[in-house]
Amino acid sequence: MKPFLKTLLFLCIAGALALPWLSPPVYFVSLLFIVFMYVVMAESWVLIGGFAGYLSFGHGAFLGIGAYTTALLMNHFHLSPLWVLVSALPAGAVAACIAAVIGYPALRLRGPYFALITLCFAFVMELVVKNLDFLGGPEGLWLKAMGIDVGLARGIFFEVMFVLMVVTVLTVRHIEFSRFGVGLKAIKEDEEVAQTLCVHTPRVKLSAFVLSAFFPGIAGGLYAYYLSYIHPETVFNIDISILIVLMALFGGGGTFMGPIVGAISLSLINELLSAFLKAEYARVIYGLLFVVLILYLPDGVMSFFRKGKSADT
Amino acid sequence: MTGILVLQSLISGLMIGAIYGLLGVGFSLVWGAMKVINIAHAAFAVLGAYLAYALLKMFGLDPVLGFFVILPFLFFGGMVLYRYLIFPVMRARDIVVSSMVLTFGCAIIIENLISLIGSPDPRVFTTRYTGKALFLGPFAFQLPQTVGALMALGGMAVLYIFLKKTHTGKALRASWQQPEAARLYGINLKRISMIAFGLAVASAGLGGIAMGFVYSFDPHTHNLWLIYIFLVVILGGVGNVLGTALAGLLIGLLNGLSLAFFPYQWVNVITFGVLILILLVRPSGLFASEV
SS3 assignment, position A278: coil
SS3 assignment, position B291: coil
The answer to whether residue A254 sits within a structural domain is no
Mean pLDDT taken over chain B:
84
- E strand or H helix that includes residue B136: strand B133-136
Residues B252 and B14 sit within 8 Å (Cβ to Cβ): yes
Cα–Cα distance for residue pair B127/B91, rounded to 1 Å: 46
Strand residues in A101-166 grouped as ranges (E) = 141-142
Cα–Cα distance for residue pair A99/A191, rounded to 1 Å: 21
Report CB contact under 8 Å: A113, B94. Answer: no
Q: Which CATH architecture has domain B11-281?
A: Orthogonal Bundle (1.10)
B88 contact residues in A (CB cutoff 8 A): 295
Question: Percentage helix, strand, coil, to 5, in chain A?
Answer: 80, 0, 20
Domain spans, chain B: 11-281
Shortest Cα distance, chain B CAs vs residue A153, angstroms? 35
Pairwise pLDDT comparison (A159 vs B128), residue with the higher score: A159
Residues A66 and A92 sit within 8 Å (Cβ to Cβ): yes
Enumerate helices (H) and strands (E) in chain B, giving the number of each.
12, 2
Residues B219 and B121 sit within 8 Å (Cβ to Cβ): no
Tens digits of residue pLDDT in B249-276 = 888 888 888 887 887 777 778 877 777 7
Report CB contact under 8 Å: A287, B102. Answer: no
Cα–Cα distance for residue pair B138/B260, rounded to 1 Å: 17
Of A113, A284, A293, which has the smallest distance from its Cβ to B284's Cβ?
A113
A249 contact residues in B (CB cutoff 8 A): 97, 100-101
pLDDT at B289 exceeding the cut of 60: no
The answer to whether residue A19 sits within a structural domain is no
Shortest Cα distance, chain A CAs vs residue B98, angstroms? 6
The answer to whether residue A280 sits within a structural domain is no
pLDDT at B198 exceeding the cut of 90: yes
Residues 88-147 in B contacting A (C-alpha not used; CB under 8 Å):
88-89, 91-94, 96-98, 100-102, 104-109, 111-113, 115-116
Pairwise pLDDT comparison (A290 vs B1), residue with the higher score: A290
User: What number of C-beta contacts closer than 8 Å exist between A and B?
Assistant: 117
Q: Which residue range(s) make up the domain with A119?
A: 24-238
Cα–Cα distance for residue pair B79/B216, rounded to 1 Å: 28
The answer to whether residue A16 sits within a structural domain is no
Band (A206; pLDDT cuts 50, 70, 90): very high
Rg (CA), chain A: 19
Q: Which residue of B28, B89, B97, B114 to mutate against A (max A Cβ within 10 Å)?
A: B97
Q: What pLDDT, on the 0 to 100 scale, is given for residue A252?
A: 74
Q: What percent of chain A has a predicted confidence (pLDDT) above 90?
A: 18
Into how many domains does chain A fold? 1
Q: What pLDDT, on the 0 to 100 scale, is given for residue A311?
A: 42
- Main-chain phi, psi angles of A311, to 5 degrees: -80, -15
Regarding pTM above 0.90, the answer is no
Question: Percentage helix, strand, coil, to 5, in chain B?
Answer: 75, 5, 20
b vs e for B153-176, b when ≥16 Cβ sit within 10 Å of the residue's Cβ? bebbeebeebbeeeeebebbbbbb
CB atoms under 10 Å from CB of B237, counted, come to 24
CA of A59: how far to CAs of A209, A214, A216, A238, A262, in Å?
10, 10, 8, 9, 16
Q: Who contacts A305 (Cβ-Cβ below 8 Å, separation ≥6)? A: none
Pairwise pLDDT comparison (A305 vs A248), residue with the higher score: A248
Lowest mean pLDDT of A76-90, A221-235, B116-130, B200-214, name the range: A76-90
Please work out, in degrees rounded to the nearest 5, the angle formed at the alpha carbon of residue A281 by the alpha carbons of A279 and A284: 110
Give the pairing type, strands A229-230 and B133-136. Answer: unpaired
Report CB contact under 8 Å: B88, A113. Answer: no
- E strand or H helix that includes residue A229: strand A229-230
pLDDT at A200 exceeding the cut of 80: yes
From chain A, which residues contact B within 8 Å (Cβ)? Answer: 55, 105-106, 108-113, 116-117, 119-121, 123-124, 127-128, 130-131, 238, 242, 246, 249-250, 253, 280-281, 283-284, 286-291, 293-295, 298-299
ipTM higher than the 0.85 cut: no
DSSP A135: G
- Main-chain phi, psi angles of A82, to 5 degrees: -70, -15
Q: What is the mean pLDDT of residues B143-165?
A: 89
A258 contact residues in B (CB cutoff 8 A): none
Band (A38; pLDDT cuts 50, 70, 90): very high
Q: What pLDDT, on the 0 to 100 scale, is given for residue A309?
A: 46
pLDDT at B179 exceeding the cut of 90: no
Report CB contact under 8 Å: A131, B96. Answer: no
Report CB contact under 8 Å: A117, B279. Answer: yes
CB-count exposure of residue A299 (10 Å: 0-12, 13-18, 19+): buried
Residues B58 and B118 sit within 8 Å (Cβ to Cβ): no
Nearest residue in chain A measured CA to CA from B228: A120
A108 contact residues in B (CB cutoff 8 A): 280, 283
For residue B19, how far is the Cα from the chain centroid?
7
